[in-house]
Structure 1
Amino acid sequence: MLSAAKMLLGQKCVLQCLKHIRLYRGFHSSGSPYNSTAIKKQNEIFEKEKQRQLSLVKRIEKIRVNHLGPNDECSLIMNKYLSTPYHVAMHFNEIYTKRSVMAVVNGQPWHMLQPLVEDCDLRFLTMKEEEPDEVNRVFWRSSAHMLGALLLDAFKESITVVPVRAPDIPYMIGCFAYDVNLSIQWEPTRQELTSLKRLAYQLSEKKIPFERLVIRKEVAEEIFADNVYKKHHLENVNTERVTLFRLGQFIDINDGPMVTDTGFMVPFNYSITKVHSIDDYLLPNSKLSRFQGVALPSDFECHHTAWSVIEHKAKNPVLLDLKPDFDNKYLPDEAEAAS
């Protein structure tokens, strides 16, 4: 009788283990059928357009960049349409390149890898500004974009992952998010959330740059021809030009700015805390999966007890910005747009 009970218990354990193995095998290093075709095409068009814009710079023109700040104030001669704030930072020391979250150019927020287009006053902002609202928004925005990037590579080939959007969630709420359309209804286990965190760790360690590109609307329509959500976005945005950001192979519509690279996120302190369903604003009788997360900037340290409290807060389902609002969209500056 005891042996039979042990055998039954053993069978239950095996079944439970197999159950978790099947769920765990939902993760894979290669993309879904949508990804393997559409993502390759998107990157080919993105790269072609990037090279086309570079080819428009027929001769090198010089501009004067006045660096403002508490230290190292000076004027530098840089290359118009080629030099970026990051290149300016390289003229000083490593602290500027490692800690500068963004630049402010002639009073405007500026991505660190965004080419400079005219004589300008420039200053760098770090995560430790006295008024941190702008840099906090940049960090949160970048963390959400990174979440979208890792989700593309997270699932096995039989599961389709269609990127939808990064909802505009104020950083004061305590989490960022990215919405996707999954071909399955999925409630992750703790082990699977840990697997996602492992992918985030790898992205952070690689210090992958956030590339910015302003393109004509028709080029964006070509890039996102296979994504119904992006097509809907482009149809409802009243602008001739669109700003894209690329992280690895992941391309999304985003006004930015973002941080320079994924090294600005502490590898051990980037967590996916909650996955829950929300109504699909575009497809009837469909659901979207909202992935929520929280991250720590590399300029800060956090005790594991305090971090646990932050993670716990980020587990609360956030039901803000459930569909895009096209009424007040940023229009890229004419001077930096492609002809």
Structure 2
Amino acid sequence: MPLFVRAEGVVMIQVQLPDGSIKPFPPGSTPRDVAAALGAGLARQAVAARIDGQLADLSTPLDRDCRVELITLDSPQGLEVYRHTAAHLMAHAVKDLYGDEVQVTIGPAIENGFYYDFYSERHTFSPEDFERIEARMTELAAADLPVVREEVSREQAIALFRSMGETYKVQLIEDLGEPRVSLYRQGDFVDLCRGPHLPSTGRLRAFKLTSVAGAYWRGDEKNAMLQRIYATAFPDKKELKAYLARLEEARKRDHRRLGRELDLFSFNEEAGAGLVIWHPKGALLRTILEDFERREHLKRGYDLVMGPQILRTELWKTSGHFDNYRENMYFTEVDGQSYGIKPMNCLSHMLIYKSHMRSYRDLPLRYFELGTVHRHEKSGVLHGLLRVRGFTQDDAHILCTPEQLDGEIKGVLEFVRDVMGIFGFEYEVEISTRPAKSIGSDLDWERATKALLQALDDVGLCYEINEGDGAFYGPKIDIKLKDALDRRWQCATIQCDFTLPERFDLTYVGKDGERHRPVMLHRVVLGAIERFIGVLIEHYAGNFPLWLAPVQAVVVNVTDNQAAYAEAVHRQLRAAGVRVKLDLRNEKLGFKIREAQFEKIPYMLVIGDKEMADGTVSPRYRSGQNLSPMTPDAFVQFVLDECKQYR
């Protein structure tokens, strides 16, 4: 591309567009000018730009030949810019309303919205404040204030925010260590930010504050507690209304609330944060899921193994966990010897492999363990069953020859497909590549990444690349489930590892009689059992399918006259393997049925005088649908038939 074109005496710069076409513009033109030249519709939709690949505001001057890609509101990046500007609008409104009572910290866009963290010793935010803050946000948006970027020296920025009493902003700038920083101003509000942002506040049309929570500064419980206000924003009110309806449905499905109501699990500060206490029905639900897992793994040629909860620290040093993962580990001492409480199960599985000489004829070996691990998650990120400190993984490690690797990866992908189909989950796939903090040679990482990509291409699965988010010992395939509300949950993963077999000197004797190095796949299908149960609760809204329900049926009598027969039916069903409870309370039938529905029990077996005389029960589904009367034996067969595909 030539550097300049002269038009009517003006030296023009050339702007290359995404389709490869080139258009001349006067020096000092902006991406907004480019959008206007391409059409009024694009000009209305554009919110930011990439200039030679770098994100920039629409007002950024173009002073050289460059490539310009316009970012529109209907793209994920455009929506992020929109919400990031909305976060500044919320902070502006809060400062207008509460002044020096509040300090601002950070306010990023997140999935489905944004948040802003505030520090205040004098004011505690609550949902009662939301209407007032939203009203001020609406006024500021209506004022259509220009959002203006400026760059200043580090010293100028520190002096500015120190004079404003914004100590958290001062700390951020000091920690950045950059000689110059960018600020954004709108009216009398100024914030530290990289940008980009919308051109003005008037572009913000629909927003809503949703909740408030505590959050430690920088996620460290040793730091001050901040107040995090969550919110969301959309380009129009119709989209916002639809999202809020989904949010309300999500609240109804919240696994923490349903966990209490269904008496499945609890947390207790006396036990410790992030440690789940399973109640009888929850423990039974978990056992059903784990038994299902064991059956499915045995069918696919896995061997069941178990490893200890603690292993000598020297072993964690050999694996690289001590250098690369120890901030997430717990350590203890026994007889003067340091031990690490396991955060992963792979070390024991490698020791099992090393317990015998292995031949190529023995491979692949597939070791499966429902292994309980503990990881030091910061208290600020703990969230019900979805983020805990102690959890059980459906963990497996496959040791195979390099020639077998492709088939084993595809076998795991088929396993994931089959299991997710049983639970009714669709899913998306990501490839996570080498992180900055990692071990192993470039060649091994290249071989491992290529193997994962090839398997996905061969089976026809679409995927995205997630740069730098692999495990420290190898790249991985991450499976993200889509639930009934179209939310994404990270569960299954497949990690390809050439490095740990090298560190632990794992070998097998090949066809040539020489020793060779196996490859190891680390993989989970459901992931953490706790997290998966949390996802299941919300996916099904607590209405578990019959095979998974901890209580499948409840026997209810109409009057005391049927109590003896009801007890006999209860014994018969329980002996046949039906998970059944008995409700003989002296309450009205309607009350007992409503309570069973509240507990989300799939079937209520009503027994009155007619059923007792006929030797039957009258099943009623939790939705209110009545089935024809049937004998207890027929109901047992009915349950077995509905559940047999999962046995």
**Smaller-chain TM-score range?**
0.5 to 0.7
Q: Unaligned regions of 5+ residues in structure 2, if any?
A: 1-9, 255-378, 383-435, 437-647
Is contact 1:178-1:292 (8 Å) kept? yes
How far 1:152 sits from its partner (Å)? 1.0
SS of aligned partner of 1:153: helix
For 2:232 and 2:26, the matched residues in 1 are separated by 37
2:89 aligned to which of 132, 146, 150: 146
For 1:146 and 1:280, the matched residues in 2 are separated by 21
Instruction: Kindly provide the CA deviation profile for residues 41-90 of structure 1, in whole angstroms up to 9, marking residues without a partner as x.
Output: xxxxxxxxxxxxxxxxxxxx95414262679x66232233xx32123334
User: Does 2:141 align with 1:204?
Assistant: yes
Between structure 1 and structure 2, the one with the greater Rg is 2
1:178-197 residue pairs with structure 2 within 5 A? 178-190=116-128, 192-197=129-134
RMSD between superposed Cα atoms in Å = 3.5
Which residue does 1:287 correspond to in 2? 225
For 2:251 and 2:132, the matched residues in 1 are separated by 18
Which residue does 1:324 correspond to in 2? none
For 1:187 and 1:294, the matched residues in 2 are separated by 17
Q: Unaligned regions of 5+ residues in structure 1, if any?
A: 1-60, 322-326, 328-339
Which residue does 2:64 correspond to in 1? 118
How far 1:177 sits from its partner (Å)? 0.8
Relative to 1, partners in 2 of residues 1:278 and 1:107: Cα closer, same or farther, differing over 3 Å? closer
Relative to 1, partners in 2 of residues 1:79 and 1:285: Cα closer, same or farther, differing over 3 Å? closer
Is contact 2:50-2:71 (8 Å) kept? yes
1:19-168 residue pairs with structure 2 within 5 A? 62-66=11-15, 68=17, 75-80=23-28, 83-129=29-75, 132=76, 134-155=77-98, 160-166=101-107, 168=108
Instruction: Kindly provide the CA deviation profile for residues 165-223 of structure 1, in whole angstroms up to 9, marking residues without a partner as x.
Output: 22x4532xx33111112242424344x31121112222222222221112221221221
Relative to 1, partners in 2 of residues 1:314 and 1:106: Cα closer, same or farther, differing over 3 Å? farther
Is contact 2:27-2:64 (8 Å) kept? no
Which residue does 2:155 correspond to in 1? 218
Which residue does 1:256 correspond to in 2? 195
Q: How many residues align?
A: 247
For 1:122 and 1:77, the matched residues in 2 are separated by 12
Which residue does 1:19 correspond to in 2? none
Relative to 1, partners in 2 of residues 1:223 and 1:279: Cα closer, same or farther, differing over 3 Å? same
For 1:110 and 1:98, the matched residues in 2 are separated by 17
Which residue does 2:239 correspond to in 1? 302
Relative to 1, partners in 2 of residues 1:304 and 1:128: Cα closer, same or farther, differing over 3 Å? closer
Which residue does 1:13 correspond to in 2? none
Give aligned-pair identity as a percent: 22
For 2:141 and 2:126, the matched residues in 1 are separated by 22
Relative to 1, partners in 2 of residues 1:310 and 1:241: Cα closer, same or farther, differing over 3 Å? same
Instruction: Kindly provide the CA deviation profile for residues 121-169 of structure 1, in whole angstroms up to 9, marking residues without a partner as x.
Output: 323221224xx3x2233223222122211111123x6x61211222x45
1:273 aligned to which of 207, 210, 233: 210
Is contact 2:83-2:114 (8 Å) kept? yes
For 1:205 and 1:211, the matched residues in 2 are separated by 17
SS of aligned partner of 2:26: strand
How far 1:280 sits from its partner (Å)? 4.4
Which of structure 1's runs of 4+ aligned residues deviate more than 6 A?
282-285
SS of aligned partner of 1:193: helix
Which residue does 2:296 correspond to in 1? none
1:221-232 residue pairs with structure 2 within 5 A? 221-226=158-163, 227-232=166-171
